[in-house]
Amino acid sequence: MVLESGRITREGIDRLRERLGSFNRPRQYGVGLFNEEASRSAIRHYCQGIGDSNPLYWDVSYAQQTKFGTIIAPPCFLYSVYWCSGRTGGLPGVHGFHAGNDWEWHRPIYLDDKISVQEQFTGLEEKESQFAGQILIQSSVSHYYNQRGEVIAKTRGWQVRAERSAARERQKYRFEPYHYTPQELKAIQEAVLGEEIRGRNPRWWEDVRVGDALKPVVKGPMSHGDIAAFVAGCIGGISHGIQLREMMRHPSWGFTDPSTGAQEAIIRVHDIQEAAESAGLPGAYDYGCQRCCWMGHLLTNWAGDDGFVKKMYVELRRFNVVGDTTWCTGRVVGKREDQGEKLVDLEIWGENQRKEITTKGTATIRLPSRRPAG
């Protein structure tokens, strides 16, 4: 059976359905992961890539004074180990857009933890959209383990598969670049520099009130350099002969840049204008997991060293192109106790300079209590 490249066909869908339940990635250490170990350098590079200056992740002397006794990694560091976004292959040339994740963490990621991943293809939905007509939503579930076999976290990730030609024809997301006033840029810089890291000052569960607002974490105006730093710390890449051999093995995995003649992977939609336009978008845009990491940054800032992010659900609603600014923020929507844990439920979202909600989700954080357990 020959599948038409770049098209969503009934044959291609049927082939994908036959793979439901299969393991795209077996639980095995050292097979194609980016950051296989939570080394000090890997943690630092990840934090540099998302702009997180929390000393718990950087400063050994600071971290030794915390309950952990050592540097730990942020919860979303796991994106840099393996990016779970519903990727399962199939449908060559049909673009995949990361659309969200539903995370549940069970334990911290300690310095020098060795991490393995198991991913299972779990879902395939057929839908119609204004963006590209017929689309598919693929989902998978990944479990992350440390070297002791303990489950660090579990996540369900999903992506939208769309025909690039259909997206180009419809031009749903065509808009003019945003032009900031000097006053707007000054306000953004002040907001970025005014970020609040709770750190070693405990946020006591008893002090939290429903309706409390989270201090925003502001990212932007996003530059090509911001994206490049994220790639360096969280995703990595391949180049030269390694990339060429991969493109020869999977011709639909890349394209030839018309202005330079260079062979480029299609993932360069995130930093090359022509690649983004080939997928029906107005310009280079952020990685979906990059924005999810920003939301994780918001949560760890608010929770402090003694808090623990248990859950985070994030939907990526709109594209975030170079030049956009995202205000990551949220509010408390509930407080509860569950099996001795003091929990706070949050509504979280990302809003751009056009006042559009680009990201939406929820989170649950365990906080310390002024009253001793029992």
pLDDT at 242: 80
- Specify if 1 maps to a domain: no
CA nearest to 293, candidates 344, 219, 212, 203: 219
Read off the CATH number of the domain in which 101 is found.
3.10.129.10
Please, what is the Cα angle at 318 between 228 and 359, to 5 degrees?
Answer: 85
Contacts of 188 (CB under 8 A, 6+ apart): 180, 218, 220, 221, 325
Instruction: Give dist(CA 232, CA 72) in Å, integer.
Output: 20
Number of domains in the chain: 1
Neighbours of 245 (CB within 10 A): 11
Give pLDDT, residue 6: 80
Q: Are 279 and 299 in contact (CB under 8 A)?
A: no
pLDDT score for 253:
66
| Residue 153: alpha-carbon gap to chain centroid | 15
Which pTM does this prediction carry? 0.92
- CB burial of 54-91 (b: ≥16 within 10 Å; e: otherwise) equals bbbbbeeebbeebeeeebbbbbbbbbbbbbbbbbbebb
How far is it, in rounded angstroms, from Cα 33 to Cα 22?
19
211 vs 126: CA distance, rounded Å: 38
In-domain check, residue 153: yes
Identify whether the C-beta of residue 295 lies closer than 8 Å to the C-beta of residue 328.
yes
pLDDT at 345: 99
Tens place of pLDDT for every residue, the chain, 374 residues? 233 468 888 999 999 999 999 987 656 555 568 999 999 999 999 999 999 999 999 999 999 999 999 999 999 999 999 988 887 777 887 888 899 999 999 999 999 999 999 999 999 999 887 766 788 999 999 999 999 999 999 999 999 988 766 556 555 566 678 999 999 999 999 999 999 999 999 999 999 999 999 999 999 999 999 999 999 999 988 788 887 887 787 776 676 777 777 777 767 777 777 666 666 667 788 999 999 999 999 999 999 999 999 999 999 999 899 999 999 999 999 999 999 999 999 999 999 999 999 999 999 999 999 987 65
Residue 200 lies in a domain: no
Number of Cβ within a 10 Å radius of residue 136: 21
Question: What is the Cα–Cα distance from 347 to 342, expressed in whole angstroms?
Answer: 17
Token pair 């710390």: residue: 233
Residue 253 per-residue DSSP state: G
In a domain, 347, yes or no: no
Domain that holds residue 119: 10-178+224-290+301-317
